[in-house]
Amino acid sequence: MSRGLARRVAAVLPRGVRVRLRALLERSAPDPRDVERVRDVTSRQWARPASPRYVTSYWDDVDGPADSVGKRRSEWLAGLPVFRDAASALELGCGPGRNLWVLQRRHPAMALFGVDINPEGIAHARSRVRGTFLVGNLYDLDRLLGDTRVDVVFTMGVLIHLHPATLPALVDAMRRRARRTLVFVEQVSATNEVVKGPARWRPTRRVTGDYIQWSPDLPAILAGLGLAFERSAVPIELQANGGRDLLVVPLGR
């Protein structure tokens, strides 16, 4: 079925019918308990995003005169107290480097590091930010980073794309690389709620085929690792898909 025909059919069918029909057609969709297959789906998705505007839309004119929510959110992040006297910072899932670019402007002496699975995003970051950038999968963080250590390790709207079952190991790897603080700007829930994904996973929610997104139970993961944290809301005017909660984990010096 062509996209145009699919849109015309969708326009005349009630939402409930559309979702049930899509669920029937998604027989090859991964089971949420199949961690390895879900890993493969999400890794392929972000290594080569379908949208040709991925890099430019993420960058969101942050280095230009225009105002944008993305620009203000990056500036809010860079202004958090944990960065004031930090000598170094690492962003996991840095994309084209918007957050690191703003950190560089506010803290010029800070050593910056970024990791992302998308080569195009990393190429853009390298062209804008003085830092060390690696192309790689966050599922393989230990192998990727080796013995790298920094003062602050942070994410923004990234953990929502990783299977919740893999997050305890990832957070533990982050802890081993942070001298002072972990910072998470994420969207969390108490149930590892699926927000986007195959229709047969959550037929009452928005569905987008193989595009999978969770709201992980990050507070429980941190508690399970014995990590105390402070949780607050991202300012309402700066909230976005994947970035509604701020969790700060102090690790000492």
DSSP 8-class letter at 180: E
C-alpha gyration radius of the chain: 19
One digit per residue, the tens of pLDDT, for the chain of length 253 reads 444 555 565 566 665 666 666 666 666 677 888 899 889 888 988 888 767 777 887 776 677 677 888 889 999 999 999 999 999 999 999 999 999 999 999 999 999 999 999 999 999 999 999 999 999 999 989 999 999 999 999 999 999 999 999 999 999 999 999 999 999 999 999 999 888 888 777 655 555 556 788 999 999 999 999 999 999 999 999 998 789 999 999 997 5
27, amino acid identity: R
> pTM for the complete prediction?
0.87
Cα dist from 234 to 133, 154, 244, whole Å = 27, 15, 5
Per DSSP (E only), the strands in 83-165 are: 88-92, 111-116, 132-135, 150-156
The pair of three-digit structure tokens given for residue 128, joined into one six-digit string: 């804008």
**Adjacent-strand bridge partners of 113:** 90, 132
Structural domains in the chain, sorted by start: 3-250 (3.40.50.150)
